Amino acid sequence: MEPLEIRRLSYSDLPQVVAVERRAFPTPWSLAMFVLELSKPSGICLAAVQAERITGYMVCSRYDTVWHLMNIAVDPDRRREGVATALIEKLFETADRDGEQYTLEVRTSNTPAIEMYERFGFRSAGVRRGYYHDNKEDALIMWRTARGRQPA
């Protein structure tokens, strides 16, 4: 199997990203939403690439003093292979400083994702009722505070 490369997401990746997004989610982001997030200078947008194909991606935006993990997706055919883990590890390698805070929302039914986030130190902080438009499913709000890393 080809090695997995984690690199910065670029505008030229967006056709593949949108294709993965449509396979991964019942209510996918539009191309315009990805363009908007990529245009923000403070964000961290990453691509997971294998054999020159996007197998996953992550969009993380900076709001004031908090990182918001907006979107993370893995091609359904490539799930449970460590792609999302590699993306999150690269995010923390890039952004972590002692006290840095991260938040995200995840479907309450998405147990594998919740367990992965918990392995990275995210903890439940409440529920957003009816958050997902497709089926009105609740979202679990999760937070993480970085501990012990100092700026390089």
Q: Are 73 and 21 in contact (CB under 8 A)?
A: yes
pLDDT at residue number 96: 86
Report residue 34 as tokens: 């990805």
Q: How confident is the model at residue 151 (pLDDT cuts 50, 70, 90)?
A: very low
In whole angstroms, what is the distance from residue 48 CA to residue 85 CA? 10
The pTM for the full model equals 0.90
Q: Residue ranges of the domains in the chain?
A: 5-145
CA distance 55 to 47: 8
CATH superfamily of 5-145: Gcn5-related N-acetyltransferase (GNAT) (3.40.630.30)
- pLDDT by residue (tens digit) across 60-115? 999 888 999 999 999 998 888 899 999 999 999 999 888 899 999 999 999 999 99
Q: Give the largest Cα separation in the chain, rounded.
A: 44
Q: Which pLDDT score, from 0 to 100, does residue 59 have?
A: 96
